[in-house]
Amino acid sequence: MGTLNLKEQENIERAYKNFIIKDKHPCIMANAVFKLDNYHIKIYDDMTSDAVVDPMLENIEHYLKHYDFDSNEFESLLFCFKENEFDTELEFEKALWNLLQKLLDNDDSEWDAEVSDYVNSPNFSFSLKGKAFYIVGMHLKSSRLARRAPYCTVVMNLHWQFEKLREMGTYQTVKKRIRRRDIKLQGSINPVLRDFGSETEAKQYSGRAVGDAWKCPFHQKTKSL
């Protein structure tokens, strides 16, 4: 993995800010996070490289250790892979799940007990370092405009944040506003979007529209969690 100078780092962050704020990204939560500078961007070269796995797990552990779970302000963790380009959504989907599999296989923590580790369960959410995350895969060839980030990106949003919104009584309002903005941007919402608890959220991670016959290319650890 190469090292970035300050100017390169700033240029990449500016590209993300333009994508989210200037281009009026449909996700109002993402807009709030970027306007408040409550985001953490970790920049790597190639998401298919084994060399990124341990550093990413360290980033996740550090992020969780310093996250303020008592605050009503949310934070997002973004992994940018500046050298990856995928020709199709399927290629990206395979790379995303291969990465998630490698992260899981090298994780030394138990699965978050608040969610299911069975990928077909409607209560499934991906868990790393003991916490559940909703994964958002983004790349330039996505059919969804809201997923066409300036670089290949994996966003990790804590599952806890969605539960916090429900606790605050704002979840449905936020969801409706995001979907209205997505319709304004593209004319429709992503057909795979579902509320947690109604269908496995794994279908949503890559951004590709998948059918009922889709099988997640992911395997739970063989050891007991």
- pLDDT for the residue 5: 84
Interatomic CA distance for residues 5 and 26, integer angstroms: 31
* Locus of tokens 């060399």: 51
Shortest CA distance to 199 belongs to which of 211, 208, 187, 188? 211
Mean per-residue pLDDT for 202-218? Answer: 90
Query: Distance between CA 155 and CA 19 in Å, rounded?
Result: 14
pLDDT in tens, 59-82: 999 999 999 998 888 999 999 999
The answer to whether residue 215 is domain-embedded is: no
| Residue the block writes with tokens 């704002």 | 170
pLDDT at 224 over 50: no
56, part of any domain: yes
- What per-residue confidence (pLDDT) applies to 133? 97
Residue 63 lies in a domain: yes
User: Exposed/middle/buried for 80, CB within 10 Å: 0-12, 13-18, 19+?
Assistant: buried
pLDDT at 208 over 80: yes
Indicate the pLDDT class of residue 190, thresholds 50, 70 and 90. confident
Instruction: Look at residue 2 in the predicted model and tell me its pLDDT.
Output: 54
Q: Which two tokens stand for residue 147?
A: 């997923």
pTM, entire model = 0.92
CA Rg value for the chain = 17
Residue-range definition of the domain harbouring residue 71: 6-204
Least confident segment among 112-116, 150-154, 159-163, 210-214: 210-214
Quote the number of domains for the chain: 1
pLDDT digits (tens, 9 = 90+) for 166-175: 888 988 898 8
| Inside any domain, residue 94 | yes
**Contact of 216 with 120, CB cutoff 8 Å:** yes
Please check whether residue 189 lies inside any domain of the structure: yes
Q: Mean pLDDT score of the chain, rounded to an integer?
A: 91
Residue 218 within a domain: no
Between 219 and 16, the more confident residue is 16
Q: Give CA–CA dist 131/126, Å, rounded.
A: 8
Tell whether 212 is covered by a domain.
Answer: no
Identify whether 126 is part of a domain: yes
Percent of the chain with pLDDT over 90: 75
With tokens 């007990």, the residue in question is 113
Average pLDDT (133-160) is 96
Cα angle, residue 188 at apex, residues 26 and 166 outer, rounded to 5°: 50
Q: How far apart are CA 12 and CA 19, in angstroms?
A: 11
Q: Which token pair is 65?
A: 């250790």
